[in-house]
Structure 1
């Protein structure tokens, strides 16, 4: 729940920022000189990119949450079996064991979104965000029946 609130607050702050930046871009364009119009257009591009990025991330989170809810309903959510140090960090040996099992599971059934979801969770628990995101994107694509690149 805390993550959802943090995400919502961050998204709201970004939207306010995009509106402020966009209004400055419009003011620059209204000024009418070649230089200010050029800068105004450049300034307007930034909020457009930001809105697109925020939209993509929001869709990703919604889809991942849908998969989590579906997997929970099936009773297939992964159990956190990673050993942790007293500070809360994941023990590398424990992580290697879990990754080996999860990878073997995805290699045995590469078209099962559930396996990719569990692998993504293992990566996330070990703070390997790029691999976690790629594995989750693959799980989402498989669940939605979209083609997946090898």
Structure 2
């Protein structure tokens, strides 16, 4: 819950910043010079791109949380039981073994969003964030298709 409050506060501050940025864009456009107009349009486009990117990330987070809750209710959420070293980092050999198990599970059931979710978690533990997000997006698409 604390994380959601922090995200809400940061979004409120960002919204204030984007409104102020939008006002500056309007001022630049109305100053009457071609350079000002071009810069003003650019300044107005920036908040649109930022809002789109943030909305996309928030939707990703909400989908991931919904899937995690469902998998937890079903008892299919991957356990956090990998051994860790003194610094708290997960043992690499154990992470690789878990990854192989989840990869094989996903290959056996490619239409199950839960297997993709667990594979995404395994990629994340292995430090491959790009593939973890891709696998989680796949899980989200499968989950959405199964609930509609």
Measured in 2, the distance between the counterparts of 1:46 and 1:72 equals: 39
Divergent runs of 4+, >4 A: none
Partner in structure 2 of residue 122 of structure 1: 122
> How much has 1:16 moved relative to structure 2?
2.2
RMSD of Structure 2 on Structure 1 (CA): 1.6
- What is the number of equivalent residue pairs in this alignment? 146
Match of 1:43 in 2: 43
Provide the C-alpha distance between the structure 2 equivalents of 1:113 and 1:41, rounded to a whole number of angstroms: 42
Structure 1 unaligned runs (5+)? none
Q: Distance in 1 between matches of 2:27 and 2:119?
A: 49
Q: Which one is further off, 51-60 or 11-20?
A: 11-20
The whole-number CA distance in structure 2 between the counterparts of 1:12 and 1:82 is: 38
Q: 2:10: which partner in 1?
A: 10
Indicate if the aligned counterparts of 1:81 and 1:98 stay in contact, CA closer than 8 A. Answer: no
Counterpart mapping for 1:60-99 below 5 A: 60-99=60-99
TM-score, scaled relative to structure 1: 0.89
Shift of 1:86: 0.9
1:126-141 counterparts in 2 under 5 A? 126-141=126-141
The TM-score, its normalising length taken from structure 2, stands at: 0.90
Q: Quote the offset at 1:106 in angstroms.
A: 0.3
